[in-house]
Amino acid sequence: MISLFRRNPTPQPEQITVRIGATTYPVAVRRLVSARRYTLRVRTAQRDIVLSMPARGSLTTAKAFADKHAGWIALKLAKLAQDVSFADGAMVPFRDVPHRIEHREGRGTVKIEAGSPPVLVVHGDVQHLPRRLTDWLKKQALRELQAIVVRHTAALGVKHGPISVKDTTSRWGSCSSTGALAFSWRLILAPPFVLDYLAAHEVSHLKEMNHSPRFWRLCHQLCPRTEEARAWLKSHGAGLHRYG
């Protein structure tokens, strides 16, 4: 049956560009009802540039604003550390300890060998190295987080739902109304006390689905290093998205 009404197509995201030296960079544009002025932000995790503007603002004005602040954008982009691909010889943190990736031919699992620095040995075809190492890191993160969640839920006398790991950029963990817990697999790159805090944070939501003083008391009860972990994530968390 042919519909008599044509649905409006989903509006495409708006974008402008800013030229810095010989390079042109895309700038994502967000129209916000609450915005009263034009603002720029370089997002570390996503490694992109976002311009927020009033809902009825002008793209021409937005472009002029971005061009005016090209120097500021260049400085912010220059401060972003370079991405580190999972490749033979690359250095990556594992539980906050720098490890050197070493590719070896033949069959075998990913394993750690002692050394200075320690070595992450990845067997198999070299083109599969990034995927194999990523899968291994996800398994390590899930295994460790499952153990911590079990310990914290036992301490609070609560039950949790399924636990999963994902590759999110907006949050390190989440707790659904059904008790399902999800975490960023990149936490396995961070110090162990940071994983402990994130697990404690989401488990505390099983009792308090808010960030009230009672919630934070529970969080500190489960993880005495809560404030230290929050400070670490604020200073170093975005950098975890450089890897892989």
Q: Which domain covers residue 55, as residue numbers?
A: 14-79
Which of these three, 79, 107, 122, is where a domain ends? Answer: 79
Which of these three, 79, 109, 126, is where a domain ends? Answer: 79
Does 63 lie in the same domain as 156? no
Does the structure show a pLDDT above 80 at 30? Answer: yes
Residues in a beta bridge with 69: none
- CATH code (residue 223): 3.30.2010.10
Determine the pLDDT at residue 54. 94
CB under 8 A, 24+ apart: contacts of 96-101: 96/189, 96/190, 96/191, 96/192, 96/194, 101/129, 101/133
DSSP structure string for the chain: ---SSPPPPPPPPEEEEEEETTEEEEEEEEEETT--S-EEEEETTTTEEEEEEETT--HHHHHHHHHHTHHHHHHHHHHSPPPB-S-TT-EEEETTEEEEEEEESSS---EEE-SSS-EEEEES-GGGHHHHHHHHHHHHHHHHHHHHHHHHHHHHT-----EEEE--SS-SEEE-TT--EEEEGGGGGS-HHHHHHHHHHHHHTTT-SS--HHHHHHHHHH-TTHHHHHHHHHHHGGGGGGB-
Number of folded domains in the chain?
2
Residue 127 lies in a domain: no
Residue 122 lies in a domain: no
pLDDT by residue (tens digit) across 126-181? 999 999 999 999 999 999 999 999 999 999 999 999 999 999 888 999 999 999 99
Determine the pLDDT at residue 75. 78
Determine the pLDDT at residue 81. 66
pLDDT tier, 13 (very low <50, low <70, confident <90, very high otherwise): low
Determine the pLDDT at residue 71. 84
Does 147 lie in the same domain as 58? no
Nearest to 23 by CA among 62, 81, 83, 74: 74
Residue 102 lies in a domain: no
Give me the chain's average pLDDT, please: 90
pLDDT by residue (tens digit) across 53-110? 999 999 999 999 999 998 888 877 876 767 889 999 999 999 999 999 999 988 878 9
Residue 195 lies in a domain: yes
Residue 126 lies in a domain: no
Residue 105 lies in a domain: no
Determine the pLDDT at residue 82. 76
Does 71 lie in the same domain as 154? no
Which of these three, 58, 79, 100, is where a domain ends? Answer: 79
**8-22, 59-73, 207-221: the lowest-pLDDT one:** 8-22
Does 229 lie in the same domain as 155? yes
Nearest to 45 by CA among 180, 148, 169, 216: 169
**19-33, 90-104, 115-129: the lowest-pLDDT one:** 19-33
Residue 93 lies in a domain: no
Residue 111 lies in a domain: no
Residues in a beta bridge with 111: 121
Q: Which residue has the tokens 């739902």?
A: 161
Amino acid at 122: V
Does 147 lie in the same domain as 236? yes
Amino acid at 89: G
